[in-house]
Amino acid sequence: MDSASRDLPFARRDFLTRCGMGLGVAALGALCGEESLGAASINPMTPRGPHFAPKAKRVIHLFMNGGPAHMDTFDPKPELTRWSGKALPEGRRLATERKTGAAFGSPFRFNRYGKSGLQVSEIFPHVAKHADELCVIRSMKADLPNHEPSLMLMNCGDARLPRPSMGSWVTYGLGSENANLPGFVVLCPNGYPITETNNWRAAFLPGIYQGTYVDPTKGGPNEVIPNLKPARGLDRQGRQLDLLRSLNATHAADRGSDARLEARIQSFELAYRMQMEASDAFDVSKEPAKLRESYGSGIHAKQCLIARRLVERGVRFVQLWHGKDQPWDSHDDIEKQHRRLAGECDQAIGALLSDLKRTGLLEETLVLWGGEFGRTPTVELPKPGSNGGKVNGRDHNHHGFSMWMAGGGVKAGYVHGATDEFGFQAVENPVHVHDLHATMLHLLGFDHERFTYRYAGRDFRFTDVHGRVVKELLA
Amino acid sequence: MGMQGMRVAIFSLSWMIKTMWKVGFLACFTCGLSLALGQGPSVEEAARHWAFQSISEPVPPLVTNAGTSIDSFLAAKQRSHQLRSAETVSSRLLLRRLAFGLKGLPATHDETLAFERDDRPDALARQVDKMLASPRFGERWGRHWLDLARYADTKGYLVGGASRRYPFAYSYRDWVIGSLNAGMPYDEFVRKQLAADLLRNAPAHPDLAALGFLTVGPRFLNREHLIIDDCIDVVTRGLMGFTVGCARCHDHFYDPIPQEDYYSLYGIFDLVKEPKELPVISLPDPSSPSYRDYTSKLKTLEKAVAEHLRSKWNYLRSEQGIRAYMQAAHDGFSLSNDRLEALAAKRKLYPKLVIRWRDFLRKKETSDDRLFAPWRAFREAKPSSYSSIVANWLSNSREIPPFLERELRKGTPKDFTQVSSWYSREFAGALAKSFVGQSSKATATLVATPAFPVSFELSAVERYFDTAARNKTNALRAKVAKHQADHPGSPTRAMAIVDVSTFHNPRIFERGNPNNRGREVPRRFLAALSPAGTRKPYVNGSGRLELADSILSKSNPLTARVFVNRVWEQMIGEGIVRTPSDFGLRGAPPTHPLLLDYLASTFREDSWDLKRLVRRISLSEAYRQSCGSPPARDPENRLLSVMNRQRLDFESMRDAMLFASGEIDLSIGGRSVHLIKKPFSVRRAVYGYVDRQNIPALLRTFDFSNPNIHTPARPETTVPQQALFALNDPFVIGRAEALGRALVGFAAEKAIQALYRRVLSRDPSAQELATAHAFLGGESSLEGLADLAQALLVSNEFFFID
């Protein structure tokens, strides 16, 4: 190193240290965010490598918003059925959002499936066919029994403070493999879930990493990405682009090399191709009729099929919500409501798993299923303004609940942890939401403690000061 | 790791352990991570940190052939690295750079020609002065300030149908623009934004709008401590580049900010509130039809809210209402609260109030109250035994309340409902004071006591509402807010705040948890920025004005440095400190510390005059040099040996397109307009409506400042969605067509020349003329001209500033 460059105000090494990033060196220039040092003009969606070789390259998060009851879906509780109608033993009924009463056995039958003999409720027969692919966590834990903070915790890793969502973190860390599509797509039929766009916010990460919301009932690909539809015929546009190319070439010729000028020139080429490719991605009519039938009918069939088409095209993170507001929030009529809700999505989710497997995508796609929490094994007591007073539903339960993962390097046909005999709280190998996040990041190739973003003078992590990788979940 | 590093590491570790012990091992371990790696500062280092030293008044180094003082500082450093600044840029490009930098708009072709021909020595200074005097200056620089102030027209996510609008956020935006145009000194500018209400006793003063700085932030579902946290953040990072927000849960790990300092500031913002009604700061002509229409409609809408509240209140205090509640309280006398609430809901009564009635009656029964003795006796007896009770009472001439005696003498009640209806009539009468002379003194006294379930004022009725009634209220109020926000006759109000009337000191929230209050701390300024012996508790009201004085005090070196650095960054493209909101130990050190101090000290000497600062930078050779690639030995151009090529932000791009097409409406101020929806507003983008909950994809695509959180600097991304906008957005197409339409039928050469002049403020070269001519096929049709115009509007030449 010559003397002149040695006492330059900043050495490259300092620059890296100050960025405090745990990512590959190549990615640093673009990823220092707030403290970005003028090098952020390259496309922030450029695919990037994580800390170590990932098992999963993309995520499909099936968000059962409202909170499905684990004892009615993936966590059979025969003891609860025996106690049904009786008060639980002293001290076993825990505090949740509302008052609950006697034990309330599941109205559903559980059967064993596959070689693993995984027990699944009768309301998920199609998902159950994939028992040997599933990695069911029966010992999930969250912090609070209310929707808003639990949604924020599940999606953004913090119940209250404005932190980036999981999809934003992952897209920030990995970029997208398809420059013609948004890297993080959120589908929710008919409108937003509660807390709305906060669920997929980028917070202090650059806005480009925020989830792109799509209402799959609207469906037209042109509504997905603004300005996707060519304003005029492609021929006419092609001619205009030729002209633009020559204008930009003349401009660049006088100016020496500048990556930013070049990047913008390239962005027009990408945009031109995107007009075709992006609309194609959302157009499920291009799938063979037989395959479409396998997904069933209804909006979940459509959005699950879109999800497959998106991950197939390299979209990094797809989040599918069951519906607007909080559909799974069965404070009343658990039997009727859960049967209906599962009925709406079971076949489509089953078909999605089959389809991912068939196309070989499942191996590198991490599928996550679950809500923001589970529900109580005890029956919810009537409460004006919050339930219909029917005494046949369940309250929220953050003390213990189930989620499952599939594909992407998780242990298949495996059940992890357990709730107590009634299903009230996780007692065996509890997995906190932060632990789930750490594990997911691990599967995606990140050390969650080193995967940071400098903001407001501090290195932020998705898992904040928490989280541990649950090794048992890894294949 | 050398000895120094080792010492730091050991020190840091022990400090961290100590701190972690204090915070119970739950604090932000992320902050500590790199500490353990040996990057953390020692206390001495913190004290020696450059940013905390007072601002020096450096003499520009003697360098031959350096232009202004600014250039001397730059040249001295460049020359020690064998570098020189680049050639002066052409007059055309300089004027363009200046126009975008100062006004956010391009220079016209005519202006460019005139400037090129002007060979007076002060030609540039004249242009700078002209632009500084233009109202466009405040719009351009106001927008920079609004980024910092996380400006938006909405509150963010809220529930229950409550209005999310800030109908008067625009008054803050307009105040910022107006103040910058008027050349308000920066210290006054800041002082007013923190404490305009305390500066003079003028309840309708236009400066009250300045307080929007504290009030236009997100409302976090109305969680008070998060709103205050946001204020602390915007004040400390925004004005001083000091990350005080980090000390919410624990002492700052890097900077000398103990947790108690956070709460010293917290205590200040905890003692302010929004006035019940926002002050009107500019009354329109009261006789104008639009104002009259506004007030009459407003009256109707407000009446609907008031009537809704009053009808509920009246009912609760009516005979019928009291009877219903007393009956429910009686029926659920021994139920648990939950079950009683359920019963209330079934009868469509407010659960909270039923519980209150029941608890009240229970208390009255056990307190041996003469008024309630009969009530209890009847309640506990079966109707079949009523007659003997009545007989007993009347014969023993026990003291019974007169209204009951009157009734009982008429006959025995047939059931308890009848008894409770007597009571309710008596209470309702006493509340309405219509039974003058009939209701007993005892009743009149009773219904006036706070313990009586419905003695509350009309204004308190909402507290008892159930969800349905509350949602109805929210919806009616949202209509008022919408009317105030949208009606052109609605008078402008300031988003003001006032101090509360009693003051107290804050307590630390242990680990940032509001439910875990620790020791009391005084309201006062930050320790690290208070010279020894000068740090005193704030004693005037909340202390906001004293805080403003501390922030602007000569002994606080950060405020001026942070601001001049932001200005430098806007003009030059990169800051002298490249972490504009973090001047702490983990921030980037200045590339030119002396230059920074020179700018900061002259800025203070110039009475904190932004325009003079901008002028000083504009006239430097550094600003006037050409853009180009930085030399290999300085790849990040820290020595500024070439000008940084900048690009148009969203606002400048949009404004410039409207400017080129001749459609732009340059009127100033007023309610926010919609930029994204058709028909597109043709006003400057700074007047665009910003919904912080749903920032339009277009704005996000173009790196618009995130209004949910203080944004130190906008990121700069290049993504195909930007190009899709350029190719297909009806806004762009519309401007291109407007440009083309005006030239249809002209000779192709003439039309091409006109388009180049309008869009790029120059004539086309012969080669460009030929290319465009071929593109048009020699004809000037609307289609061809519009396509050509669009290509120019979205070209790199248009989008980048050399």
Look at residue A60 and give its three-state secondary structure: strand
- Cβ-defined contact of A384 to B703 (cutoff 8 Å): no
For residue B347, the chain A residue with the least C-alpha distance is A384
Per-residue confidence (pLDDT) for residue B763, from 0 to 100: 97
pLDDT reported for residue A25: 28
With an 8 Å Cβ cutoff, is B395 touching chain A?
Answer: no
In terms of domains, do A299 and A332 share one? Answer: yes
pLDDT for the residue numbered B38: 37
Interface of B with A in 330-369 (CB under 8 A): 338-339, 341-342, 344-346, 351
Mean pLDDT of B136-160: 92
In a domain, A317, yes or no: yes
8 A C-beta contact, residue A33 and residue A205:
yes
C-alpha distance from residue B653 to each of B659, B688, B692, B737 (Å) = 10, 14, 21, 17
* Touching A: B residues 467-506, CB under 8 Å: 467-468
pLDDT number for residue A43 = 66
- For the residues A129-138, what does the mean pLDDT come to? 98
Provide the residue range defining the domain that includes B27: 1-40
Of B27, B698, B717, the CB nearest to A206: B717
Q: State yes or no: pLDDT of A160 exceeds 90.
A: no
**Sign of torsion over alpha carbons B639, B643, B646, B651:** positive
Of B245, B694, B719, the CB nearest to A267: B719
CB contact under 8 A, A40 and B693: no
Same domain, A310 and A246: no
Angle at B762 between CA B758 and CA B767, to 5 degrees: 115
Model pLDDT, residue A274: 84
CB pairs under 8 A between A and B: 271
Among B433, B455, B477, identify where a domain stops: B455
Q: Is A1 among the domain residues?
A: no
Look at residue B131 in the predicted model and tell me its pLDDT: 98
Under 8 Å between Cβ of A346 and A73: no
Is B698's CB within 8 Å of A225's CB?
no
Are B431 and B531 members of one domain?
no
The least confident of B72-81, B516-525, B691-700, B760-769 is B691-700
User: Per the domain annotation, does B589 fall within a domain?
Assistant: no
Report whether pLDDT(A133) > 60: yes
User: Which chain A residues contact residue B342 at CB under 8 A?
Assistant: 382-384, 389
- Whether residue B559 is predicted with pLDDT greater than 80 in this model: the reply is yes
% of residues, chain A, pLDDT over 70: 89
Would the CB atoms of B728 and A227 count as touching at under 8 Å? yes
Please report which residue ranges of B585-729 form alpha helices under DSSP H. Answer: 593-605, 610-618, 621-624, 650-660, 697-701, 720-728
Q: Please check whether residues A363 and A454 belong to one and the same domain.
A: yes
Same domain (yes/no): B352, B206: no
Question: Between the ranges A256-260, B90-94, B700-704, where is the mean pLDDT highest?
Answer: B90-94
Contact (Cβ atoms closer than 8 angstroms) between residue B211 and residue B193: yes
Q: Which residue has the tokens 């000061």?
A: A465
Judged by DSSP in three states, A118 sits in strand
Is residue B521 one of the residues assigned to a domain?
yes
Is A233 touching B (CB cutoff 8 A)? no
Predicted pLDDT of residue B408 = 85
Q: Which amino acid is at B452?
A: F
Distance CA B111, CA B113 (A): 5
Residue B88 near residue B625, CB atoms below 8 Å: yes
| CA-closest candidate to residue B224, choices B468, B500, B2, B443 | B500
Domain assignment present for A385: yes
Q: Are residues B258 and B332 in the same domain?
A: no
Which of these three, B553, B577, B595, is where a domain ends? Answer: B553
Mean pLDDT of A97-125: 96
Which range has the worst mean pLDDT, B372-376, B396-400, B727-731? B396-400
Chain A, 96 to 125: residues with Cβ < 8 Å from chain B are: 99
| Per-residue burial over A311-342, b = 16 or more CB atoms within 10 Å of its CB, e = otherwise | bbbbbbbbbbbbbbbbbbbbbbebeebbbebb
Q: Is residue A119 part of a domain?
A: yes
Count, residues in chain B:
802
Specify whether A383 is located in the same domain as A428. Answer: yes
Residue A3 in domain: no
Question: Å from B446 to nearest chain A CA?
Answer: 31
Q: Using CB atoms and an 8 Å cut-off, which of residues 140-199 of chain B contact chain A?
A: 157, 159
Q: Please choose, from the candidates A352, A329, A325, the residue with its C-alpha nearest in 3D space to the C-alpha of residue A189.
A: A325
Say what the ipTM of the complex is.
0.81
Looking at the DSSP bridge assignments, the partners of residue B801 are: B646
pLDDT band at A205 (very low <50, low <70, confident <90, very high): confident
**Residue B639 falls inside a structural domain:** no
**How far is B77 from B74, CA to CA, in rounded Å?**
5
A95 touches chain B (CB under 8 A): no
Using pLDDT thresholds of 50, 70 and 90, give the confidence band for residue B799.
very high
Select from A236, A258, A280 the last residue of a domain: A280
pLDDT of residue A23: 31
**Chain A interface, best mutation among B676, B699, B756, B796, by max A CB count within 10 A:** B796
Asked if A301 and A346 sit in the same domain, the reply is: yes
Any domain includes A369: yes
In a domain, B190, yes or no: yes
Q: What confidence tier does B462 reach under pLDDT thresholds 50, 70, 90?
A: very high
pLDDT bin (cut points 50, 70, 90) of residue A12 is very low
Distance to chain B for A137, nearest Cα, Å: 26
Q: What is the pLDDT of residues A294-346, one digit of tens each?
A: 999 999 999 999 999 999 999 999 999 999 989 999 999 999 999 999 999 99
What is the CATH classification number for the domain harbouring A198? 3.40.720.10
Burial of B722 (0-12, 13-18, 19+ CB in 10 A): buried
Q: Which of B538, B553, B568 is the last residue of a domain?
A: B553
CB proximity under 8 Å: A 159-188 to B: 160-162, 179-180
Residue B752 in this model has a pLDDT that exceeds 60: yes
Domain assignment present for residue A448? The answer is yes
Task: Identify the domain boundary among A243, A265, A280.
Answer: A280
Asked if B467 and B474 count as a contact pair (C-beta separation under 8 A), the reply is no
| pLDDT tens digits for range B178-205 | 999 999 999 999 999 999 999 988 888 9
* CA distances for A376 relative to A137, A335, B576, angstroms: 17, 14, 58
Q: What's the length of chain A?
A: 475
In this structure, the answer to whether residues A106 and A236 fall within a common structural domain is no
Q: Which of B237, B719, B796 sits opposite A265 (nearest CB)?
A: B796
DSSP string, A382-446: P-TTTS-S-S--EEEE-SSEEEEEESTTBPTTEEE-EE-TTSSSEEES-EEHHHHHHHHHHHTT-
Q: Pick the residue with more confidence: B321 or B18? A: B321
Confidence band (pLDDT; 50, 70, 90) for A384?
A: low
Q: What angle do CA A452, A458, A462 make, to 5 degrees?
A: 35
- Cross-strand bridge partners of residue A184: A317
Both B448 and B497 in one domain: the answer is no
Residues B206 and B327 in one domain: no
Helix (H) / strand (E) element for A101: namely strand A100-103
Shared-domain flag, residues B499 and B416: no
> Is the pLDDT reported for residue B5 higher than 60?
no
Residues B593-622 as b or e (16 or more Cβ within 10 Å = b): bbbbbbbbbbbbebebbbbbbbbbbbbbbb
A214 and A241 part of one domain: no
Are B179 and B261 part of one and the same domain? yes
Instruction: Find out whether A231 and B727 touch, Cβ atoms under 8 Å.
Output: yes
- What pLDDT sits at residue A195? 85
Partner-chain contact B636 A247, CB within 8 Å = no
Neighbouring-strand partners of residue B520: B507
**Chain B: closest CA distance from residue A214 (Å):** 12
Interstrand relation of B492-493 and A458-461 (parallel, antiparallel or unpaired)? unpaired
Give B514's pLDDT tier (boundaries 50, 70, 90).
confident
C-alpha span between B649 and B101 (Å, rounded): 11
Q: Give residue-wise pLDDT tens across range A289-307.
A: 999 999 999 999 999 999 9
Residue A225: its chain B contacts at CB < 8 A?
A: 721, 724
Residue B29 has a pLDDT of 33
> Do B233 and B346 belong together in one domain?
no
Q: Between helices B319-331 and B337-346, what is the axis angle to 10°?
A: 140
With 50 as the cut, is the pLDDT of residue B15 above it? no
With respect to residue A2, please indicate whether it lies within any of the assigned structural domains.
no
CB within 8 Å of chain B, chain A residues 192-231 = 194-198, 201-204, 206-208, 210, 212, 225-231
CB A196 within 8 A of CB B701: no
Which chain B residues are within 8 Å of A186, Cβ to Cβ?
none
Interface membership of B637 toward A (CB under 8 Å) = yes
User: Percent of chain B having pLDDT more than 90?
Assistant: 64
- Cβ distance of A44 and B719 shorter than 8 Å: yes
Please name the member of B636, B645, B647 whose beta carbon is closest to the beta carbon of A37. B636
Contacts of residue A464 in chain B, CB cutoff 8 Å? 28, 30
Q: Mutation target for B interface from A255, A390, A450, A463: give the one with most B CBs within 10 A.
A: A255
| Cβ separation B697–A212 shorter than 8 A | yes
Instruction: Give the nearest chain B residue to A178 (CA atoms).
Output: B720
Q: Are residues A110 and A187 in the same domain?
A: yes
Are B279 and B324 part of one and the same domain? Answer: no
A293-298 own/partner pairs: CB under 8 Å, 24+ apart:
A294/A351, A294/A354, A294/A355, A295/A347, A295/A348, A295/A351, A295/A352, A295/A355, A296/A347, A296/A348, A296/A351, A298/A344, A298/A348
Q: What would the pLDDT profile of A168-199 be if each residue is shown by its tens digit?
A: 999 999 998 887 788 999 999 988 898 888 89
Indicate the number of domains in chain B.
4
Nearest chain B Cα distance for residue A429, angstroms = 21
Tokens of B306: 């008031």
Sign of CA dihedral B699, B700, B705, B709: positive
Name the token pair of B558: 């950060």
**Nearest CB to A225: which of B704, B718, B721?**
B721
Looking at A260, A280, A300, which one is the last position of a domain?
A280
The answer on B505 and B448 residing in a single domain is no
Show the domain range for A187.
50-224+282-473
Q: Is residue B777 part of a domain?
A: yes
Contacts of B220 in chain A (CB under 8 A): 160
Condensed to tens digits (0 to 9), the pLDDT of residues B379-397 reads: 888 888 888 888 887 777 6
pLDDT tens-digit map of A23-38: 322 233 333 333 332 3
A299 and A312 co-located in one domain:
yes
User: Same structural domain for residues B265 and B374?
Assistant: no
Interface of B with A in 677-716 (CB under 8 A): 693-695, 697-698, 700-701, 703-704, 706, 708-710, 712-713, 715-716
* Number of structural domains chain A divides into: 3
Burial A261-272 (b: 16+ CB within 10 A, else e): bbebbbbbebbb
Residue A389, Cβ neighbours under 10 Å: how many? 16
pLDDT above 90 for B461: yes
**Residues 376-435, chain A: which have Cβ within 8 Å of B?**
381-385, 389
What average pLDDT does the segment B716-743 reach?
92
B535 interface with A at CB cutoff 8 Å: no
Contact yes or no for B727 and A227 at CB 8 A:
yes
Closest approach of B713 to chain A, Cα-based (Å): 7
| B712 vs B261, residue with greater confidence | B261
Q: Which residue of A has its CA nearest to B254?
A: A457
Q: Say if the Cβ atoms of A207 and B704 lie within 8 Å.
A: yes
Is the domain of A355 the same as that of A460?
Answer: yes
Given a cut of 90, is residue A429 above it in pLDDT? yes
Same domain, A248 and A158: no
Same domain as A249, residue A291: no
Choose the weakest-confidence range: A349-353, A445-449, B56-60, B628-632.
Answer: B628-632
> Which of A434, A371, A439 minimizes the C-alpha distance to A409?
A439
Q: Mean pLDDT across chain B, nearest whole number?
A: 89
Considering only residues A447 and A31, tell me which one the structure prediction assigns the higher pLDDT.
A447
Residues B733 and B791 in one domain: yes
The alpha-carbon gap from B29 to the nearest alpha carbon of chain A, in Å, equals: 5
Determine contact: B720 vs chain A, CB below 8 A. yes
